[in-house]
Amino acid sequence: MLGNTNQRSPSRMNTITLTLPPERIALFKAIIESYDNLATLRTENPQEHHLKLYFSTENSPEIEALLDSLQADFALRRLAAD
């Protein structure tokens, strides 16, 4: 047998690169991580305070809504998305 055909294929990962004031990064990361399995946040460029958010395509609507709701409070600026 070739394997279990009921297994789901891996989701495509999307990314968004953001920047925000350094004093807000820890709280922003805590908020992102409080949503189980929604996204992962990594530092892309520590000198420039660039962060990269990794998430599945299926979570795009939730990510967009969350970023929109946090944008003003965290002075988020999007640098790139794929």
pLDDT at 3 over 60: no
Binned at pLDDT 50, 70 and 90, residue 51 comes out as very high
Q: Which of 33-36's residues contact partners 24+ apart within 8 Å by CB, and which partners?
A: 35/62, 35/66
68-80 tens-digit pLDDT: 999 999 999 999 8
d(CA 22, CA 48) in angstroms, rounded, equals 9
CATH code, 13-81: 3.30.70.2070
pLDDT value at position 64? Answer: 96
24 by Cβ neighbours in 10 Å (0-12 / 13-18 / 19+) ranks as middle
pLDDT value at position 69? Answer: 96
pLDDT value at position 81? Answer: 77
Q: Is the Cβ–Cβ distance between 74 and 22 less than 8 Å?
A: no
For the chain, give every domain's residue range.
Answer: 13-81
